[in-house]
A and B are shown apart, each in its own frame.
Chain A
Amino acid sequence: MAHAAGAHAVHEAPTGFIRKYIFSLDHKVIGIQYYLLALVAVWVGMILSLYMRLRLAWPTEEFPLVGGVMTPEAYLSLVTMHGTIMVFFVLTTAPQSGFGNYILPIQIGAADMAFPFLNALSFWVTFLSFAVMLAAFFVSGGAPISGWTGYPPLSAVGEVAGPGLGLGQTLWVVSLAIFCGGALLGALNFIATTLDLRAKGMYLMRMPLTVWAWFITAILGLLAFGVLLAAGVLLLMDRVAGTSFFIPGGLVISEQIISHKGGSPLLWQHLFWFFGHPEVYIAILPGMGVVSQILSTFARKPIFGYRAMVYAIMGIGGLGFLVWGHHMFISGMSPYSAIAFSVLTLSIGVPSAIKTFNWLGTLIGGRIRFTTPMLYALGFVSLFVTGGLSGLFLGQPSLDLYLHDTYFVLAHFHMVMGVAAIFGIFAGTYFWFPKMFGRMMNEPLGKLHFWITFIGVYAIFMPMHYIGIAGHPRRYAETSGVEYLGSLQPVHDFISIVAIVTIAAQFIFLFNFFWSLYHGEKASVNPWECTTLEWTVPSPPPHDNFGGHSPVVYHGAYEYNVPGASQDYIMQTSPEKVTH
């Protein structure tokens, strides 16, 4: 068979430290690099949110590292950088580029990604982008204050509109443009790998749902990041070259006349959200894949409705490109288009509901093992339902007339694309850690971490729905400026206290992660008794994954408790017959 010879073509295992761990072409090393980048980013983003919560609960207190009492503009730069770092460098980076890079090639039986060099390049480009983003904190004027959505004219006219809108905002745009480059290279690589490097017998409809999720996410990324790149270039030109793509004429800021004319602020919003809405699914789809994999594994039962799950991923991805207008209901775009956007938006509820039903269907009739990854996967389902349902309010322009830009929106997207996606990342971490590092993570610590985090995030984000309904606007540095907000201040205090506890609990995770790297129990090849290909190779896998031979796949990904089988799971590579 020709395949056996194939593995020799793969780049040789490097020996020097630099080639092995820093500028490695091995998808596994690159996956870990992406994961660690996201780990650093998530701590930065989380500390920023901690300071936001401190400011909201105790607006007049002094806190370390910020030099006295936090100013409103400091609060807004926290808002901006928290959002940007979390969305791009955590939610886009960890589940897709991190786990996807590490696991996808192994799950389809390949020795590496299609373009290892591009893979390494995409990581280093992303790394550079992160460095540029962080640099915004340290330039004169500080980090930008225009939010992660960077709406012009605020983001386009420069320092005259506020601190941080000078060099800080420019670095922000440049960083995003660089990030787009890295994301496009990564997306291209994922798609080519999935299309062309599957092992013999790994038909599309036998791929694990994780692979489907990464694959569709990559397609979304390939189509979406180019648009953000284009929008970023236009914004940068408005800022530094003096063009007027997004800046209208006749602006007067602080009694200064702005010389630009004729541009359209809404044009940015259209371009940004054409990227921005698919981006939401780029964050959550990989989590859905991971959760499907984990639920099936620990319920010891095939995933319920595999094909429906695949079509639902495609449906969510496809519809995701047609709904960007629901971010702009009250912006002044055509009110007729709002109706079309809202129908399409609520249609996304359908594939999302299919996924939820199928997850429940997978659990029912199973024999559930409550490991830490399983707890996180179950938590994901609960959070996804909660976060998804508030979308039914916001997707309707009629109801958005009141709810737009309130804490209700904040609650919605934090639940579904923030916390649910993070739960997907946690689930993936506890699940694949043994494969990636050869040791088990500590289960009691993992469970403790789960309980505090699960209850904590509900206690943080549920109340945001209530103050949203009471009309609390987003991105307010404090409640003193509006009378009716005064009565909502106790809710802020409550949220902040819970947030401090929940953030503190993340040290348990960090400790568990690094402690287990060195002292965790040694992991066997297949500690979870899972069926997919990564569990057929040593933990961690050798440089070329399959040790020079190519696997052959005989089954779909989720054959658990097949009647008449010799054990309660059948590996994808096992030639054992399955009679349906």
Chain B
Amino acid sequence: MAEILAPGKQQDGVGGGGGGFHEGDFGGYGSGPPPGTSRRIYRTGMWLGLLAISMVFLAFTSAYIVRSGLSDDWLPIELPRLLWGNALLLFLSSLTIERTRKALNGGRRAECNHWLAVTTALGVAFLVGQLLVWRQLASHGVYVTTNPSSSFFYLLTATHGLHLLGGVMALLYIVWQAWHYQLGPAKRTLVEVTAIYWHFMDGLWIYILLLLSLWR
């Protein structure tokens, strides 16, 4: 750890003289500390948050692998094809949130708002799609307790869905800010960390799909 951190210690040490900032400070651009500090904190915080989320899913994965190899009652679940369609939606939303970010960086407000709306819509569509998948499974008599594989299916999709819902909330907040013409350059950090989170949720979904379809 120290070996990794130590080379950067010069710049680490010099920076960050300011202090803490909370959400309200985003509006006060210019009166605050070097904007870099706040941006860096938020990026660090987001990466750490993603690390924590990864540990949760890592634990679920190990439980999944152990449980599937353990007993003779494991019947692999038939994955509804709609899941792949949902994955496509999420993948597209990753592209559009990148467009949002680029547009904001370039100061193209209308374009930014446009892509922002598309991303949010895609996110909501994904969640609706996931609900449809659940309904499909339920209509085939596959519930949480039907089989350990279905328990894990619902567990993983629900946990991912909850996290994505958090992302959608963040997007709605940004939309609301944009609606009120408050989405200035100072909001870049907010959009940026949301984009990081969003991409991560995208990758996480692909990971879950691969786990469910390859380790049966």
Contact = CB atoms under 8 A, between A and B. Distances in A.
The reply to whether A and B meet directly (CB within 8 Å) is yes
Interface of A: 1-3, 5-11, 25, 27, 105, 109-118, 184, 187-189, 191-193, 195-205, 222-227, 229-231, 233-234, 237, 241-245, 248-249, 261-264, 267, 270-271, 274, 310-311, 314, 544-545, 550, 553
Given A243-B144, A267-B67, A9 B28 contact: yes
A229 B70 contact: no
A241 B40 CA distance: 42
B20 A243 contact: no
Interface residues of B, number: 57
A198 B28 contact: no
Contacts of A188: 45, 48-49, 52
Given A191-B48, A195-B44, A550 B18 contact: yes
A202 B5 CA distance: 13
Interface stretch (B55-63, B76-84, B176-184): B55-63
Nearest to B158: A233
Contacts of A241: 144-145, 151
Contacts of B51: 222-223
B24 to A, nearest CB: 7
Contacts of A116: 20-22
Nearest to A307: B2
B186 to A, nearest CB: 12
Contact of A8 (B31, B58, B151): B31
Contacts of A111: 18-20
A216 B71 CA distance: 39
Interface in B135-184: 144-145, 148, 151, 155, 159
Nearest to A4: B17
Contacts, number: 214
Contacts of B17: 1-3, 6, 109, 199-200, 550
A226 B55 contact: yes
A25 B148 contact: no
Contacts of B211: none
B32 interface: yes
Contact of A105 (B20, B45, B60): B20
Which among A196, A229, A310 has the greatest number of chain B C-beta atoms within 10 A? A196
A161 B55 CA distance: 32
B113 interface: no
B21 A198 contact: no
Nearest to A549: B17
A6 B13 contact: no
Given A191-B48, A237-B155, A310-B2, A9 B9 contact: no
A114 B48 CA distance: 13
Contact of A230 (B23, B60, B74, B145): B60
B106 interface: no
B22 A198 contact: no
B19 A196 contact: no
B13 A314 contact: no
Contacts of B25: 9, 11
Contacts of B1: 314
9 interchain residue pairs of minimum CB distance: A111-B19, A3-B17, A6-B18, A112-B20, A226-B55, A230-B59, A262-B71, A9-B32, A6-B33
A27 B22 CA distance: 12
A115 B13 contact: no
Contacts of A105: 19-20
